[in-house]
């Protein structure tokens, strides 16, 4: 609602939709030389759901329609310029997109009696894709292993919990970390939470060789659903929580973030209460800046990103941005990058936590969705 | 012709005028003219209602300080009554202004201005015991009760609650609310007047921060928040209309979730009057003032949302009935229903998007 008619028409003309042509920077540079780009599941206000990205060569956003709402996006390790967008819970579909040609090159369906939870990770050698999924018969969480080239299912094992959400690879390249949100949902009841009374969230480390559980961690807040996480290069894991307030018997402010050092228990961040209150029980995404030792936690309900030092556990600062959810870190670790559903992208200096306003980007007709990443 | 019909006709004319001039439209699929009318409604609400409230709040805070000064010059029941009435006026205006907890009121998340006025709003905790301890300790203490002392106090110690306790009860363990006893308490404890004056001055400071932020300089930007709001140039990238509507929705959510009517303004017995002013403010937001040319309700009506308006009005009537009956068992469900109206019917009726992540994150 913030554009003039003239600028809107200009923006619409600049935004390419599905099949609208080749992105200039991609066609003119090799995969190795290319600049990494910001991608996100996105809704184009006129055309609908898809994968969106920021095209720095034209300073506009681009969009490939998917036909469903996506969640996280990861770079395909075997095919430069390709990304995999996972379907949002309880989607049974995900897609591989060729950003060079702005088209979907593969549609990946979940197996019978399974649906996706919106997150996935590739193995370090690029051979396998691990996805978090729901076993509809048992309600148990699964990690499904696919061939990264053709998406054929190779194997699957339990996530050792219910409602596995974000999944990442640990620095050893062998161990997965999975946030079991603990909340049971089923496709026939949509996004309705079916087990709030008995929900059991845990953070688990799983050996990819045999699916065995190597560590399982819980926090002393039984109605906190651990859902999103980011792994630092030293193996520490920043975790964001979502409180199920409707299942709680009090309105006390509770922690929404913490850090796990494998082999130890999760350290939660209790302060500052005023900031936690403003985050309104919800963290949407997490990112870690390795050089600064700071983790970012976004809260679209609170319209802010909050930062904690993962070494000391101390609060580092915050940045207010309407409906902010996506967050990632630049390759040089200089900035956190935030995105929101008004199409804004902002760069926050990782050391000062002040915004570099000269870097602001805006895609007026795009709603950047839950997660932002570089590919 | 009633006010709503007049506004609906004016709304249609405003929309036609904007359309004819070809200006101000946007990319919204809903069409630019209606969108501009929504902004007109929000701008008028800010200019006709919200900003005048910030002025009134400062004026009434100053009136309370003056009444306190008079009382401490001549400590008697008449002057105490003036102090108490000034507090009631201030509290009622706060329950109107508190609906707009954004911009200057909460720009500093760590030390938000609103918390120094209304400590209960922070987390629904009643800090009466904390304030009573401060007062009794300072009456017996020797600290210099200057502005530096009050500036250093945490939010739990100050604001409307502290002024209510100072104005409506004695400082002894009996906490008598009898006027004669309160007067005697002040006569016996000279430092209590210093505390009253200091707390009143502190509240003027915080009221002025809100007024100044809206009208002069927001967060040291050199620009009034009003300008940023009207120009649709909020630094947090928010749509100003969404900011306004969501803030009021959060306020209604707070009123029922924290059982405000059963836990605040009890000493003054002004809890239900405060709640009346809160619902008055919600109605003004939707219906406008006598100076309004485009209200949110008139916009909804011109867009065919008559049934939704009726639903909202029915829930407002239920809130009013509960207030009249002073029945919290009736009030809470009525507020919950109205809260839901702000999340659905009103957002839909004026076509405001609070954000996909806000409404449906994962």
Q: What angle do CA B279, B283, B288 make, to 5 degrees?
A: 145
Q: Give yes or no for residue A208 having a pLDDT over 70.
A: yes
d(CA B182, CA B104): 36
- pLDDT score at A7: 37
SS (H, E, C) B58-97: HHHHHHHHHHHHHHHHCCCHHHHHHHHHHHHHHHHHHHHH
Chain-chain contact of A1 with B26 (C-beta, under 8 angstroms): yes
- pLDDT tens-place string over residues B276-295: 999 999 999 999 999 999 99
Distance (Å) of CA A339 to CA A47, A53, A56 = 20, 11, 15
Q: Which of A5-14, A33-42, B75-84 has the highest mean pLDDT?
A: B75-84
Q: Binning pLDDT at 50, 70 and 90, where does residue B8 land? A: low
Average pLDDT of the segment spanning A20-47:
61
Per DSSP, the residues of B295-331 read -HHHHHHHTT-HHHHHHHHHHHHHHHHHHHHT-HHHH
**Backbone conformation region of residue A48, classed left if phi is above 0, alpha if psi is from -120 to 50, else beta:** left
With a cut of 50, say whether residue B305 has pLDDT above it: yes
Q: If pLDDT is split at 50, 70 and 90, which confidence band does B26 have?
A: very low
Give percent of chain B with pLDDT exceeding 90. 87
Q: Which of A346, A364, A370 sits opposite B357 (nearest CB)?
A: A370
Size of interface A-B (CB pairs under 8 A): 120
User: In the structure, what pLDDT confidence band is assigned to residue A288 with cuts at 50, 70 and 90?
Assistant: very high
Model pLDDT, residue A189? 85
pLDDT of residue A12: 31
Which of A322, A325, A348 is the best mutation test for B, with the most CBs of B within 10 A?
A322
ipTM: 0.84
Q: Is B340 at the interface with chain A, CB within 8 A?
A: no
pLDDT exceeds cutoff 60 at B1: no
What is the CB neighbour count within 10 angstroms for residue B111? 13
pLDDT in tens, B161-175: 999 999 999 999 999
pLDDT at B12: 55
Average pLDDT over residues A126-148: 97
Q: Please report residues of A whose CB lies closer than 8 A to that of B234.
A: 322
Sorting pLDDT into bands at 50, 70 and 90, what band is B11? low
Q: Which of residues 10-69 of B touch A (CB under 8 A)?
A: 22, 24-29, 32, 35, 38-39
SS3 A362: strand
Contact status of A87 with chain B (Cβ, < 8 Å): no
User: Using one digit for the tens of pLDDT, what is the confidence trace for B259-278?
Assistant: 999 999 999 999 999 999 99
Average predicted confidence (pLDDT) for chain A? 90
- Amino acid A167: pLDDT: 98
A365 contacts B361? CB cut-off 8 A? no
Contact criterion met (CB < 8 Å) for B26 and A4: yes
Q: Which residues of B touch A369 (CB under 8 A)?
A: 356-357
Contacts of B136 (CB under 8 A, 6+ apart): B171
Q: Please determine, for residue B244, whether its predicted confidence score (pLDDT) is greater than 70.
A: yes
Residues of B in contact with A191 (CB under 8 A): 360
pLDDT-wise least confident of A21-35, B147-161, B163-177 = A21-35
Higher pLDDT, A12 or B102: B102
In angstroms, rounded to a whole number, what is the distance separating the alpha carbons of residues A310 and A293? 6
Q: Can you tell me the mean pLDDT for A36-55?
A: 95
Give kind and range of the element (H or E) at residue A337: strand A335-340
Q: Which residues of A touch B37 (CB under 8 A)?
A: none
Cβ atoms < 10 Å from Cβ of B156: 18
Q: Which residues pair with A358 in a beta bridge?
A: none
**What is the model's pLDDT at position A29?**
36
Mean pLDDT of A198-227: 97
What is the pLDDT, as a whole number, of residue B13?
54
């Amino acid at each position: 609602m913030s554009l003039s008619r003239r600028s809107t028409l200009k923006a619409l003309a600049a935004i390419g939709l599905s099949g609208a042509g080749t992105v200039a920077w991609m066609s003119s540079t090799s995969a190795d030389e290319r600049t990494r780009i910001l991608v996100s599941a996105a809704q184009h206000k006129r055309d609908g759901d898809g994968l969106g990205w920021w095209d720095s060569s034209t300073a506009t956003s681009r969009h490939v329609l998917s036909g469903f709402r996506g969640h996280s996006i990861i770079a395909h390790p075997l095919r430069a310029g390709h990304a995999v967008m996972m379907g949002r819970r309880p989607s049974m579909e995900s897609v591989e997109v060729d950003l060079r040609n702005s088209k979907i090159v593969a549609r990946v369906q979940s197996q019978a009696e399974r649906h996706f939870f919106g997150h996935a990770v590739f193995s370090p050698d690029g051979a396998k894709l691990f996805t978090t999924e729901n076993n509809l018969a048992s309600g148990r969480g699964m990690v499904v292993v696919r061939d990264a080239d053709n998406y054929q299912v190779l194997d699957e094992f339990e996530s050792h919990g219910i409602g596995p959400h974000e999944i990442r690879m640990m620095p050893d390249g062998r161990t997965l970390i999975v946030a079991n949100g603990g909340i049971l949902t089923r496709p026939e009841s949509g996004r309705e939470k079916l087990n709030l009374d008995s929900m059991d969230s845990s953070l688990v480390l799983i050996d990819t060789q045999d699916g065995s559980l190597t560590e399982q961690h819980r926090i002393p807040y039984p109605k906190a659903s651990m859902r999103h996480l980011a792994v630092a290069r030293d193996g520490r894991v920043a975790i964001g929580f979502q409180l199920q307030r409707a299942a709680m018997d009090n309105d006390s402010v509770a922690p929404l973030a913490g850090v796990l050092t494998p082999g130890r228990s999760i350290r939660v961040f209790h302060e500052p209460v005023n900031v936690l209150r403003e985050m309104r029980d919800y963290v949407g995404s997490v990112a870690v800046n390795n050089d600064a030792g700071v983790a970012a936690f976004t809260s679209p309900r609170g319209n802010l990103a909050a930062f904690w030092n993962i070494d000391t556990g101390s609060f580092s600062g915050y940045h207010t941005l309407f409906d902010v959810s996506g967050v990632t870190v630049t390759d040089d670790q200089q900035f956190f990058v935030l995105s929101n559903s008004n199409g804004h992208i902002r760069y926050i200096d990782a050391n000062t936590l002040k915004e570099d306003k000269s870097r602001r980007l805006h895609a007026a007709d795009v709603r950047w969705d839950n997660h932002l990443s570089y590919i | 012709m009633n006010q709503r019909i007049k506004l609906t006709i004016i709304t249609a004319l405003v929309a036609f005028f904007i359309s004819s001039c070809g200006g101000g439209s946007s990319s919204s699929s809903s069409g630019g003219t209606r969108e501009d009318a929504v902004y007109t409604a929000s701008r008028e609400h800010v200019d006709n209602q919200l900003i005048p409230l910030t002025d009134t709040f400062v004026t009434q805070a100053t009136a309370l300080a003056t009444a306190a000064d008079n009382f401490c010059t001549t400590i008697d029941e008449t002057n105490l009554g003036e102090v108490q009435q000034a507090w009631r006026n201030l509290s009622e205006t706060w329950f109107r202004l508190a609906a707009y907890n954004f911009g200057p009121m909460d720009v500093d998340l760590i030390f938000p201005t609103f918390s120094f006025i209304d400590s209960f709003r922070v987390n629904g905790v009643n800090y009466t015991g904390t304030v009573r301890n401060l007062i009794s300790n300072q009456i017996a203490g020797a600290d210099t009760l200057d502005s530096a002392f009050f500036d250093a106090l945490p939010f739990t110690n100050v604001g409307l609650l502290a002024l209510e306790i100072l104005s409506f009860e004695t400082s002894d363990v009996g906490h008598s609310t009898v006027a004669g006893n309160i007067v005697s308490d002040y006569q016996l404890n000279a430092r209590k007047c210093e505390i009253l004056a200091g707390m009143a001055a502190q509240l003027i400071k915080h009221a002025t921060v809100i007024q100044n932020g809206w009208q002069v300089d927001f967060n040291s930007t050199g620009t009034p928040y009003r300008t940023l709001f009207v120009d649709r140039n909020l630094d947090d990238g928010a749509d100003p209309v969404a900011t306004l509507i969501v803030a009021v929705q959060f306020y209604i959510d707070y009123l029922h979730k924290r059982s405000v009517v059963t836990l605040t303004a009890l000493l003054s017995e002004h809890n239900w009057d405060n709640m009346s002013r809160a619902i008055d403010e919600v109605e003004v937001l939707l219906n406008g003032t006598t100076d309004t040319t485009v209200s949110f309700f008139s916009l909804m009506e011109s867009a065919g949302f008559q049934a939704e308006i009726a639903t909202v009005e029915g829930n407002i009537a239920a809130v009013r009935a509960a207030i009249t009956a002073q029945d919290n068992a009736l009030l809470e469900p009525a507020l919950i229903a109205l809260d839901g109206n702000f999340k659905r019917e009103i957002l839909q009726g004026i076509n405001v998007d609070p954000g996909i992540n806000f409404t449906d994150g994962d």
